[in-house]
Amino acid sequence: MKKNKEQDHRLDYGIFAAFLIFLAVSQLINFDLGMAMGENFLIFARDMILILPPAFIIIGLFEIWVKKETIEKSFGNSSGFKKHIYAILLAATTVGGTFVAFPVANSLYHKGADYSSIFSYITAASLVMIPMSVMEASIIGLEFTLLRIGLSLPLVVISSIILNKIFQQGNYVLPANV
């Protein structure tokens, strides 16, 4: 098992090295597509370097400061419908998109949140982020933004409830090392 993981990492590094070589050769021969890919990669890498370290510090503090009982009470099986409201409110304040949403969801899971609230959180994190919604409303209009959110959120909750039932019926459990 350990050998396979090492081989997988070598393959990942090899693919990344080939990508970097492609970008370098593209710069040398002025290959427009490769140069555009390189520019996009640098923008993406810069954004990741700016967003992820503070986000992981906040997630680490969340792990330490927020008690498991609090998460179980607010996001667990016995919390009823309010877990979806809490998940959507938490998602609205999440900055960094899914890069931050998935580690937060993992933390919620390990502190006792049920699948339904985690699905609501992850899905809502891509729909209702406050900065994105404000920008969208200023460009496209408040009516469109409210309509989009108003139509999307009930579907998020319904699909989260359905997925939770499917996971419960199948006795699904996430691996411990996730």
- Three-state SS across 53-122? HHHHHHHHHHHHHCCHHHHHHHHCHHHCCHHHHHHHHHHHHCCCCHHHHHHHHHHHHHCCCCHHHHHHHH
Domain identity same for 70 and 45: no
Domain identity same for 131 and 72: yes
Using a pLDDT cut of 70, give the percent of the chain over it.
94
In a domain? residue 59:
no
- For range 69-88, the mean pLDDT: 90
- For range 11-39, the mean pLDDT: 92
Domain identity same for 101 and 45: no
Domain identity same for 90 and 178: yes
pLDDT at 95 (0 to 100): 78
pLDDT at 161 (0 to 100): 93
In a domain? residue 60:
no
In a domain? residue 61:
no
The domain total for the chain is 2
The domain of 123 spans 66-178
pLDDT for residue 114 is more than 80 = yes
C-alpha closest to that of 92 among 125, 62, 137: 125
The pLDDT confidence band at residue 178, using thresholds 50, 70 and 90, is low
- For range 101-126, the mean pLDDT: 91
Residue 66 CB coordination number (10 Å) = 14
- 74-78, 140-144, 152-156: least confidently modelled range: 74-78
Domain identity same for 168 and 127: yes
Domain identity same for 132 and 160: yes
Domain identity same for 20 and 98: no
In a domain? residue 37:
yes
